[in-house]
Amino acid sequence: MADDELIWRIAGGSGDGIASTSQNFAKALMRAGLHVFTHRHYPSRIRGGHTYVEVRASADPVKSRGDGYNFLLALGDSFARNPQEGAYYGNEEVKPLSENLDELREGGVIIYDEGLLDPADIPDFEERAEENDWHVYPLDLRGLAREKGREVMRNTAGVGATCAIAGIELEWIQELMADAMPEKILEPNVDILETAYEQVSEEYDVDAPGIDVPQGEHEEEQLLMSGSDAIAYGAIDEGCRFIAGYPMTPWTEVFTIMSQNLPELGGISEQVEDEIAAAALAVGASHAGAKAMSGSSGGGFALMSEPLGLAEITETPLVLVEAMRAGPSTGMPTKPEQADLEHVLYTSQGDSHRVVLAPGTVEEAYDHARTAFRLAYDYQIPSVVIYDQKLSGELTNVPASTFDREPNPSMGKTLTEAELADEPHTEDGKFHRFQHDVEDGVSPRSIPGQKGGRYLVTGNEHNPAGHISEDPDNRVSQVNRRFEKMDAIRADLDENSLLSPHGPEEAEYGILTFGSQQGTVEEAVDRLNANGHGVKTLSVGELAPYPVEAVEAFVESVDEVLVVEMNASAQFRGLTQKELGRYGEKLHSLLKYNGNPFEPAEIVEGFETSIVEDGELPGHETKFVPAAGD
């Protein structure tokens, strides 16, 4: 195998420790100086059911899961062996092996646990192995784990065998185990790890596959993180000390991280009865002077439409997170999609506004979370960070210095009691919360409990003093002022751009994308340029207000544009066209909505086949929709 990267896939049953094992493996490789990227595939089920995680490792930075993979560790699904009466478990026992063959590259490696799996159950296994020149290593991982510890430790045996074949020094794994495991289970695990390593080294010619993990070195300390980690830490650094939520995949990740951290930081976390309550709590806490957030995934976010609108008209700062998964309704709970975009942009009644930011990478997740808070509190408006199950759960290494850890406790235009006593804010001795004529459209606010600041806020249209009003002139003034805030935010974002361009400035073609597809598209663009095409990309992190000027300049600068997104209705392309007001004849779509994110090769193929050669895409994994003018 001549690959200059290792893409290691560990497959087994849900609940068999696949996620934790892969996380440790990735971290060990990161510590060894490599760049890593993980991809997680799992069913909506607690125990049992085929699941896998890929760990891609390379000496160079990696931005996506890559194409296919070259090293399979197939453990058994321990929960497939004792089917209960009335439950259909099918052929799950062999799935960790059978389900993973299609994407294994030629010349790849297979380690399978012969204690739990029998390849004889897969009719064409041997034939395919020969055809594809796979190197197959049957090992009794279960037996080894049982002998030296507990059966569940067969993960460790698998990692030991992997290290022997891939040439990974055991010390990285051992060091990490020592950090992560309590003494009692550390000892048998180390024993199993070493025994598996030795056995494989002795029994097999481990040089045969010609696979060796590349050598690398990091210039500075790295952290292994997911987008959810980064969003949570961004919120914390921006002074968020209140979160309310209801569990829903994949939003739960941010909620959990925040809940585990906030009390230690003197903050408050509340798990509540439903998502309406969750967002309403965030509104209440923010009104009472806390930096607050809530969030959910598609179905739960639907319930938040009411409090979102309430925050908008009452001009209460509010930060929501929307972690998309495949819909409609409950859709596919553990699979990524980018189809909630329109839902987030347009939910809630009336002329309501919100900021919508879409991070594309772990680093951006941190920055965008901070920006979302800053904009929400500076402009007294709801802001939503929209991302998806892919960015939520995938881990990658980021330099520790990526995080600007300076806290920002600013509450924007929130007055102190001394400032409240100033005349501009009062009339007839009363605080006027919603004054018409203010810079940027933002009226200064007070916090309940402050002397001289009391006011009424209502979800009905209201006059400057906060009282319900249906006066037409007042209505127009208030609506216009709330609109003005979006212009001010647009100007703010132009100065602090969240756009991520990539590729040569002068290029014939362009690819537009947003959110979690950014890294994959960037890899595809690099390959397309290496293939002799002139292509550049722009990942749009600002969805509302939309960066019309920048995107227009990008579209103008190229002959044709491919818009890449994970949904069936080309929502991002629709938004772009609506905001730009034209270019329908120039924007083509490449779509994927089968529950799996794009691989770089799919984008390369989609681009070369559809745009360059004007041909048709084979298969049904991805769909090409030509520009409207065609």
Partner 1 sequence: MSAFSAIGEEREIDRDEYTPSVEPQATWCPGCGDFGVLKSLKQALPEVGRSPEETLLVTGIGCSGKLNSYLDSYGFHTIHGRSLPVARAAALANPELEVIAAGGDGDGYGIGGNHFMHTARENHDMTYIVFNNEIFGLTKGQTSPTSPKGHKSKTQPHGSAKTPIRPLSLALTSGASFVARTAAVNPNQARDILVEAMNHDGFAHVDFLTQCPTWNKDARQYVPYTDINDSDDYDFDPTNRADAQELMRETEDKLYEGEVLTGIYYREDDRPSYQQEKRELGELPEEPLAERYFDDDYEWERSYDRFIDKHK
Q: Give the footprint of partner 1 on residues 394-433 (CB under 8 A).
A: 400, 405, 407, 409-411, 414, 416-417, 428-430
Please give the sequence-ordered ranges of beta strands (E in DSSP) within 42-81, or none if there are none: 50-58, 69-74
**Closest distance to partner 1 from the beta carbon of 121 (Å):** 39
Residue 447 phi/psi, 5-degree rounding, is -120, 135
Residue 321 in the binding site for partner 1 (CB under 8 A): no
Q: Which of residues 20, 44, 260, 497 is near partner 1 by CB under 8 A? A: 260
Cβ proximity to partner 1, 213 vs 310, nearer residue: 310
Residue 290 in the binding site for partner 1 (CB under 8 A): yes
Which residues 465-494 are close enough to bind partner 1 by CB under 8 A?
465-468
Count CB-CB contacts under 10 A for residue 120.
9
The CA–CA distances, whole Å, from 306 to 301, 313, 323, 519, 551 equal 10, 11, 18, 34, 32
Measured distance CA(356)–CA(382) in Å, rounded: 9
Contact 302, 344 (CB under 8 A): no
**Closest distance to partner 1 from the beta carbon of 285 (Å):** 4
Burial 252-273 (b: 16+ CB within 10 A, else e): bbbbbbbbebbeeeebebbeee
Measured distance CA(47)–CA(13) in Å, rounded: 7
Contact 9, 54 (CB under 8 A): yes
Name the DSSP letter for residue 611: I
Contact 1, 210 (CB under 8 A): yes
Residue 266 in the binding site for partner 1 (CB under 8 A): yes
Cβ proximity to partner 1, 216 vs 452, nearer residue: 452
CA–CA–CA angle 127, 133, 134 (5° rounding): 85
Site string for partner 1, 106-135 (x = CB under 8 A): ------------------------------
**Closest distance to partner 1 from the beta carbon of 469 (Å):** 9
Of 105-113, 184-192, 234-242, 513-521: span binding partner 1 (CB under 8 A): 234-242
Cβ proximity to partner 1, 220 vs 613, nearer residue: 220
**Closest distance to partner 1 from the beta carbon of 370 (Å):** 11
Q: Which of residues 85, 205, 217, 273 is near partner 1 by CB under 8 A? A: 273
**Closest distance to partner 1 from the beta carbon of 12 (Å):** 23
Residue 531 in the binding site for partner 1 (CB under 8 A): no
Q: Can you read off the two tokens belonging to residue 297?
A: 């995934």
Cβ proximity to partner 1, 49 vs 307, nearer residue: 307
Strands 509-513 and 69-74 turn out to be: unpaired
**Closest distance to partner 1 from the beta carbon of 457 (Å):** 5
Contact 543, 575 (CB under 8 A): yes
H/E stretch holding 309: helix 305-314
**Closest distance to partner 1 from the beta carbon of 441 (Å):** 21
Of 80-88, 274-282, 510-518, 604-612: span binding partner 1 (CB under 8 A): 274-282
| Site size with partner 1, rule: CB under 8 A | 77
Name the DSSP letter for residue 333: T
Cβ proximity to partner 1, 31 vs 502, nearer residue: 31
Measured distance CA(22)–CA(51) in Å, rounded: 12
Which residues 443-462 are close enough to bind partner 1 by CB under 8 A?
447-460
Which residues 167-226 are close enough to bind partner 1 by CB under 8 A?
221-225
Q: Which of residues 129, 173, 277, 318 is near partner 1 by CB under 8 A? A: 277
The residue type found at 183 is E
CA-nearest of 518, 627, 601, 473 to 69 is: 601
Q: Which of residues 217, 264, 614, 616 is near partner 1 by CB under 8 A? A: 264
Of 194-202, 272-280, 320-328, 548-556: span binding partner 1 (CB under 8 A): 272-280
Q: Which of residues 164, 170, 292, 339 is near partner 1 by CB under 8 A? A: 292
Name the DSSP letter for residue 607: I
Q: Which of residues 132, 199, 256, 261 is near partner 1 by CB under 8 A? A: 261
CA atoms within 13 A on the CB side of 551: 31
Cβ proximity to partner 1, 271 vs 531, nearer residue: 271
**Closest distance to partner 1 from the beta carbon of 358 (Å):** 23
Which residues 237-256 are close enough to bind partner 1 by CB under 8 A?
237, 239, 241-242, 244
Q: Can you read off the two tokens belonging to residue 53?
A: 């995680």
Is the peptide bond prior to 618 cis by the omega test (within 30 degrees of 0)?
no
Of 38-46, 167-175, 464-472, 544-552: span binding partner 1 (CB under 8 A): 464-472
356 SS3 class: strand
Measured distance CA(67)–CA(480) in Å, rounded: 50
Residue 265 in the binding site for partner 1 (CB under 8 A): yes
Cβ proximity to partner 1, 402 vs 609, nearer residue: 402
**Closest distance to partner 1 from the beta carbon of 295 (Å):** 15
Cβ proximity to partner 1, 80 vs 285, nearer residue: 285
**Closest distance to partner 1 from the beta carbon of 459 (Å):** 5
Cβ proximity to partner 1, 320 vs 538, nearer residue: 320
Measured distance CA(288)–CA(282) in Å, rounded: 10
Q: Tell me how far apart the 2 most distant CA atoms of the chain are, in Å.
A: 91
Q: Which of residues 9, 35, 40, 291 is near partner 1 by CB under 8 A? A: 291
Measured distance CA(157)–CA(261) in Å, rounded: 34
Residue 287 in the binding site for partner 1 (CB under 8 A): yes
Cβ proximity to partner 1, 233 vs 514, nearer residue: 233
Which residues 24-53 are close enough to bind partner 1 by CB under 8 A?
31
Residue 584 phi/psi, 5-degree rounding, is -55, -30
Residue 206 phi/psi, 5-degree rounding, is -75, -10
Measured distance CA(135)–CA(157) in Å, rounded: 18
